[in-house]
Amino acid sequence: MPLLSDAMDDARIALKSLAERVEGLAHPTLRLGVTGLSRAGKTIFTTALIHALTRGGRLPVFEPMQSGRIARAELRPQPDDAVPRFAYEDHLATLAQARQWPSSTTRVSELRLVISYASLRGSQRTLTLDLVDYPGEWLLDLPLLETSYADFSRQSLALARAPARAAVAAPYLAAVAAAGVDGPADEARAREVAARFTAYLSACRTERLAMSLLPPGRFLMPGDLEGSPALTFAPLDVGEAAPRAGSLGAMMERRFEAYKNAVVRPFFRTHFARLDRQIVLVDTLAALNAGPAALADLERALDGILAAFRTGRNSLMSALVRPRIEKVLFAATKADHLHRASHDRLEAVLARLVERARARAHDRGAALDVVALAAIRATREARVRRGGHELDAIVGTPEAGQEAAGHVFDGTEEVAVFPGELPADPDALFDPSGAGFRGLASPEGEADFRFLRFRPPAGLGPQAPLPHIRLDRALQFLLADRLS
Ligand code: GDP
C-alpha cells in the first residue's frame, strides 16, 4: 500500500510540476522557499526581502537593482487560496511603529510579487516570485518518509541518551522504561509517553541547549494540528522483532505511519515538491553560544536538511521531471551580533558544516552557497576606549525584561557590548576541548550577554530602506539570474 501511494504521489507531483512549467513558459514564475528552525529569522528575512524588492535600498551587490533594471515590484494575490497570506504589512507595522519584532512563523504562508524589469538586452519582462515561508521543523520530517518506526525509535533514543540531552530527557526515558514495547495498547499510557517526549523536545530547544535535530517536527511546530491525536505517539525501546499485535509498540508504530501519510506526505506534495529555490536560515550563533554539543547537533540537522532535498528524487516518476530545487542558499542569520571582522568567519563556520554534510551525503544535487547576513540590522559598530585601548564594540538597545549581572534592561537604554571574535580557523570551534566561542560580553567583562536580544533599530518607516548586512548577496544568488 505505501508503494501505491508513493507512485500516486509521484504522478501527482509530476503532473502539477509539468502544468506549472507550461504555465511558466507564458508567465515566468519562481517559487522560493524560506525556511529554518523556529526563531532562525524567517519572518524577518521574508519581510526584509519583500521590502527590499518593493522599496529598494542600499543593495550594491544585487545587480538587477543596482543597475536600475528593476522598474518595480508589486504585491499580487497569491495562487493558492487555501494557504494563509504572509502578513507583510502587519509585520512591517510592528517593526516600524512599535519598534518590536513581529510574531514568528508557526505554519506555511505565501506571498506573490510581480517584478517588472528590463532584461540585459533591454526588453521589458516580468518575473512572478512566489515566496513560501514554512517551519524548518517540517522540512526535517521529510527523511522520516524513508524511515521505519523501529529505526526512528532507535535513532531518537540514541539522541535522547547522548550526554548533552540525557538530563532533560530523563522523565521521558523513565516513561519509556515504564511503558515497555510489549505493554498493552493503552490510550492513557500512549498520551503520557507522548507528552513527556514532547516536553523533552521543547526543553532541547531552549537557548542554553539550542539543539536542532528534534523530529517529528509537528511536535514542536504543530501548525493546525495542535492537540491532535495524530501527535499521540513517541519512540519506544524497540527490539529486533516486530512489536506484538495489540501491544503499545504496535499502536505507536501505526500512529507513526499515519503521521507520515497524513501529515508529512501532504506537506511534501503540496508545498515542498513545488519549490524551485530555497533559502535555509540557520541561527548558527545560537549554536555557537550554546557550545560544541549544540554545534554537533546542528551539523546532524544539516544532514537531515540535505536528505530532505534528495527526498523524491530517487523514484521513477521524479526522475522523469528534473529535480525542482535547483539552488539552495544556507544563511547564518543575526550577523549584526558580531563585528564586521567576524562576518566572513561566521560564513566559514556554516560553510564548513554544510560541506561536511554534503560530503557525507555524496550530494551533487542543487547548487549551494553560504552567506552570513542580518536581514534587519539592529546594531551599529563603534570604537570604545577601555584601559587605554581602543576596542571594537557593537551598540544596540536590549529588549526590555532581560537581565544580566543583576541589571534588568528597560528597553530604552543603549549599550555597547564586545562581540566575541570567531577564530580564523573554524576547526577550533568543533573541538570540544578547545576554547570555543565567547559570544557577547559586557565591556567590564562581568556579564555574559551571549543570549541578549536587541530591539529592532529606531526610525524604521514603510518607505525608508531597512538596514541590513549582506541581504543583497542573498538576493543576488537567489534571484539575479532569473532577472537577466
Ligand atoms: P522565525 O521563527 O524563523 O520566523 O524567526 P523570526 O524571523 O521571527 O526571528 C526570531 C527572532 O530573532 C526575532 O524576534 C529577533 O529577535 C531575532 N532576529 C531575526 N532576524 C534578526 C536580525 O537580522 N537581527 C537581529 N538582531 N535579530 C534578528
Regarding whether 106 and 154 lie in a shared domain, the answer is: no
Q: Which of 95, 334, 380, 469 to mutate to test the pocket of ligand 1 (most atoms within 8 A of CB)?
A: 334
Judge whether 324 and 273 are in contact, CB under 8 Å: yes
Please choose from 51, 101, 343 the residue to mutate so as to test ligand 1's pocket, defined by most ligand atoms within 8 A of CB: 101
* Ligand 1 centre distance from Cα of residue 327 (Å): 23
- pLDDT value of residue 435: 67
Residues 352 and 470 in one domain: yes
Last-in-domain residue among 261, 288, 319: 261
Beta pairing, strands 109-118 & 403-404: unpaired
Examine residue 434 and state whether it is found in any structural domain, yes or no.
Answer: no
Based on the fold, state whether residues 232 and 290 are members of the same structural domain. Answer: no
Domains held by the chain: number: 2
Considering the domain architecture, whether residues 207 and 339 belong to the same structural domain is answered as no
Quickly count: other Cβ atoms within 10 Å of residue 235's Cβ: 25
Please give the Cα distance from 430 to 269 (Å, whole number).
37
Domain co-membership, 20 together with 125? yes
- Residue 21 included in any domain: yes
pLDDT confidence of residue 402: 94
Question: Which is the closest atom of ligand 1 to the Cα of 283?
Answer: 12
If you search the block for the grid coordinates 545560537, which residue do you land on?
Answer: 286
Distance (Å) from CA 426 to ligand 1 centroid: 24
DSSP label at 181?
S
435 touches 462 (CB < 8 A): no
Cell numbers standing for residue 274:
513545488
Q: Is 443 within a domain?
A: no
439 in any annotated domain: no
Mark whether 83 and 26 lie in a shared domain: yes
Residue 358, domain member (yes or no):
yes
Ligand 1: residues with CB < 6 A are: 36, 38-44, 101, 104-105, 333-334, 336, 374-376, 378, 453-454
140 occurs within a structural domain: no
So what's the pLDDT on residue 431?
Answer: 79
* Residue with grid cell 516536553, as numbered in its chain: 199
Same domain membership, residue 158 and residue 123: no
Domain presence at residue 431: no
Q: How many CB atoms lie within 10 A of CB 432?
A: 10
Question: DSSP readout, 186-242?
Answer: -HHHHHHHHHHHHHHHHHHTSTTT------SHHHH--GGGTT-GGG--------SSP
Alpha helices in 41-140 (DSSP H): 42-55, 63-66, 88-96, 136-139
Assess whether 310 and 358 both reside in one domain.
Answer: yes
Considering the domain architecture, whether residues 17 and 93 belong to the same structural domain is answered as: yes
Q: Do 195 and 80 share a structural domain? A: no
Residue 105: the pLDDT is 95
Question: How crowded is the C-beta side of 171, counted as CA atoms within 13 Å?
Answer: 13
pLDDT at 44: 98
Say yes or no: 128 and 170 in one domain: no
Predicted TM-score (pTM) of this structure: 0.94
261 contacts 5 by C-beta, under 8 angstroms? yes
| CATH number, domain with residue 302 | 3.40.50.300
Residue 314: CB atoms within 10 A of its CB come to 9
Out of 200, 226, 261, a domain closes at: 261
C-alpha to C-alpha distance for 92 and 243, rounded to whole angstroms: 52
- Which of 204, 239, 261 terminates a domain? The answer is 261
| C-alpha to C-alpha distance for 383 and 244, rounded to whole angstroms | 68
- How many residues comprise the chain? 484
Distance from C-alpha of 297 to C-alpha of 294, rounded to nearest angstrom:
5
Q: What is the reported pLDDT for 56?
A: 94
Centre of ligand 1 to C-alpha 376, Å, is 8
Whether residue 346 lies inside any domain: the answer is: yes
Binned average pLDDT, 10 residues per bin, the chain of 484 residues: 60 74 82 96 98 96 98 95 96 96 96 98 96 96 93 96 96 96 93 96 93 94 88 94 94 96 92 93 95 92 87 54 78 96 95 89 82 98 88 95 91 93 87 78 83 94 91 98 96
Range of the domain at 121: 7-134+271-375+466-483
CA–centroid distance, residue 41 to ligand 1 (Å): 4
Q: Give the C-alpha distances (Å, rounded to integers) separating 24 from 290, 426, 457.
A: 45, 42, 39
Q: Which pLDDT does position 12 carry in this prediction?
A: 72
Query: Do 339 and 475 sit in the same domain of this protein?
Result: yes
Ligand 1 centre from 66 Cα, in Å?
26
